[in-house]
A and B are shown apart, each in its own frame.
Chain A
Amino acid sequence: MSGYFLSEDELLLKNTVQDFADSEIAPRAAGYDESGEFPFDNFKGMSDLGLLGLTIDEEYGGSGGTFRQLAVAVEEIARACAATSTSYIAHLSLCAQFIHMWGTEGQKRQFLPTLANGEHIGAFALTEPGSGSDAGAMRTTATRSNGSYLLNGSKTFITNAPEASVFVVLATHDRNLKTRGIDALIMEGDSEGLSVNPLKGKMGMRASSIAEVVFEDCAVSEENRMGAEGEGFRETMQVLNSSRISIAAQCVGIAQAAYEAAVSHVKQREPFGQKLAELQAIQWMIADMATQIDAARLLVMRVASMRDAGMPFVKEASMAKLFASRVAVEAADKSVQMHGGSGYLAPTPAERYYRDAKVTEILRNTALVIARVSCEMG
């Protein structure tokens, strides 16, 4: 299927991850959705395949893979269990990738090998109760005191926080400097003054844990700062740009799963003595879904190729994310529709895809970025 634009090793990776995800991850997805437990066994399997450190260089214990390979892997994981892919993205594309891009040699050697092999789980703490899209308005402060920073404030909606041993945290040392006052710090999960309050009641992505993270005079050494003082926000923007490739690939995976469930349903359901698949109205929907999903996949692979080639990719990443998240939500919606009543209830997976898909339109909304970048580029 659409393999022609993948290289031989990408195709082999796709088949391998698909086999793994189909036989190990997918059968557990509904159970994890119901229990909301963290999918440690999925992480273990992904670690064995070398996926947890996919884009991390081999010298830091990663697989030294490309962003195209990452897109292929994320799509297949998300197709089997979107929640697992959310935790995977927070772990690799936000936390580990941040350290990989901006950490010092020492920080990379200290933190990346155990993130790449899954011994440690990573989280990325940017959002606050009062600042989401407008992340630069953060209030968590990092006050200098003899070679350390003292953190005070709170972060919220932090994926993986309950399990994480490594946090990349953004905080400001001077709010007057606005985004120029923000620093990126690596914190360990057991730091004194750091507490995690799990949040319950998520609509979807339930197996991917989420929490509030509170800092009370939490000390972190200056040595744990990534990059120069005041550079944290600029660094964050670049990491977020890269992470959109993963999120967009995740959207394609969810859409593909919703599509496959719909196709298998309409092929066997026979109301009024005729298979749904034989009705033209249904065929139109299926054809539309398939086309949209493939278009989204092409946008993802385009931006991944650009990232791999070292070209500027900000606009293309935002476009891929924007388009793919719409496709995911629409495909999940159509899939529930075609399932009829059975689509509204578990154990049919359609309702889970629907709940899981929605968040992709919320995470790092990118319409704005596209508008801004397009205007700048005139």
Chain B
Amino acid sequence: MSQLRVLVGCKRVIDYAVKVRVKPDKTGVVKEGVKHSMNPFDEIALEEAVRLKEKQVASEVIAVSCGPQACQETLRTALAMGADRALHVEVSGSEYEGLLPLGVAKILAALVKKEEANLVVLGKQAIDDDCNQTGQMLAALLDWPQATFASAVSVEGEGLAVTREVDGGLENVRLSLPAVVTADLRLNEPRYATLPNIMKSKKKPLAQMTPGDLGVDINPSLTVLSVEDPPVREAGSKVEDVDQLIAKLKDSGVF
């Protein structure tokens, strides 16, 4: 089969271990001085792409990140993990606050054309906004087949065989290329970058551009009114025995 040029999305998000706090003015969450890292599902997507390259199915892996200058750190990680080059689409300040999945999907669609990519692998969702939309929107914009929530990907003939994690179990699908695949948790275990690869990553190309350069309009169609903390769970109480439990449940109208 023809060799794949794979585009991988690498979003910079607040690290999963950080306890997220809502800003006092409720416009969002506190991001300053907080540890950020690559969205874990994107790490999985990248790992899959790098494995395709190692199996010589893919000829090139291109990592993309849309966001402020600091995204270049995330892209360096991607390069150290095995991407061949990186594209940083700079979106900052209030524009970045308002960047929605549709905006990102439009940027990716433009890059797919520019780079002549024929496979896009994204995380199924980002752990900050949990949107789970970008992959689907991108497939629609490109009019490509999509396989979301992938837990296994292999090349079959001129297309891909993908196992999807769906509510009832696993679904096996076959799709023709070009295509969009989004990675679920069990697709693979991403590698750690090795020190020699970290040093080599400095020499790999990282190109910078803006949505305007790509002719993409990312004006949001949605405004965030306020971001709230989840309700605080009230303390529970202990009961002595089953009778007391039932009495309590009756009192509270559950039973």
Residues of A within 8 A of B (CB): 1, 8-9, 11-13, 15-16, 19-20, 22, 48-51, 54, 58, 63-65, 69, 73
Contacts and interface: CB of A to CB of B under 8 A. Distances in A.
Contacts of A9: 76, 198-199, 201-202
B101 to A, nearest CB: 27
A64 B192 contact: no
Interface string B187-219: 000001111111101100000000000000000
Contacts of A19: 37, 192
Contacts of A58: 196
Contact of B194 (A1, A8, A50): A50
A176 B37 CA distance: 60
Given A50-B194, A63-B195, 8 more contacts: A9-B198, A11-B73, A12-B80, A12-B201, A16-B77, A19-B37, A20-B192, A22-B17
Nearest to B199: A9
B191 to A, nearest CB: 8
B192 A16 contact: yes
Nearest to A20: B192
Highest count of chain B CB atoms <10 Å: which of A15, A20, A65: A15
Q: Interface on chain B toward A: helix, strand, loop, or mixed SS?
A: helix
B73 A49 contact: no
A11 B198 CA distance: 10
Nearest to B37: A15
B196 A12 contact: no
Q: Interface on chain A toward B: helix, strand, loop, or mixed SS?
A: helix
B179 to A, nearest CB: 30
Contacts of A20: 192
A50 B197 CA distance: 9
Nearest to B36: A15
Contacts of A65: 195, 199
26 contacts: A8-B73, A9-B76, A9-B198, A9-B201, A9-B202, A12-B77, A12-B80, A12-B201, A13-B198, A15-B37, A15-B77, A16-B77, A16-B198, A22-B17, A48-B194, A49-B192, A49-B195, A50-B194, A50-B195, A50-B197, A63-B194, A63-B195, A63-B199, A65-B195, A65-B199, A69-B195
A64 B197 CA distance: 11
A51 B197 CA distance: 12
Nearest to B193: A16
A113 to B, nearest CB: 14
A265 B35 CA distance: 21
A15 B201 CA distance: 15
B25 to A, nearest CB: 25
A20 B194 CA distance: 11
A139 to B, nearest CB: 40
Interface residues of B, number: 17
Contacts of B35: 1
Interface in B29-49: 35, 37
Given A15-B37, A16-B80, A8 B202 contact: yes
Contacts of A12: 73, 76-77, 80, 193, 198, 201
Interface in B196-252: 196-199, 201-202
Interface string B124-139: 0000000000000000
Highest count of chain B CB atoms <10 Å: which of A12, A16, A69: A12
Contacts of B80: 12, 16
Interface in B123-172: none
Contacts of A1: 35
A112 to B, nearest CB: 15
Contacts of B199: 9, 63-65
Contacts of B202: 8-9
* Shortest 4 CB-CB contacts between residues of A and residues of B: A50-B195, A50-B194, A63-B195, A20-B192
A77 B149 CA distance: 34
B192 to A, nearest CB: 5
A58 B193 CA distance: 17
A325 B17 CA distance: 29
Contacts of A54: 195
B63 to A, nearest CB: 14
A142 to B, nearest CB: 36
A15 B73 CA distance: 11
A140 B128 CA distance: 62
Contacts of A73: 195
B76 A8 contact: yes
A48 B195 contact: no
Contacts of B37: 15, 19
Contacts of A11: 73
Contacts of A49: 192-195
B192 A63 contact: no
Highest count of chain A CB atoms <10 Å: which of B17, B80, B199: B199
Contacts of B198: 9, 12-13, 16
Interface string B72-83: 010011001000
Contacts of A50: 194-197
Given A8-B76, A11-B73, A15-B37, A48 B192 contact: yes
Nearest to A15: B37
Contacts of B193: 12, 16, 49
Contacts of A15: 37, 77
A9 B195 CA distance: 9
A234 B124 CA distance: 59
Highest count of chain B CB atoms <10 Å: which of A20, A50, A51, A69: A50
A103 to B, nearest CB: 22
Contacts of A63: 194-196, 199
A58 B35 CA distance: 32
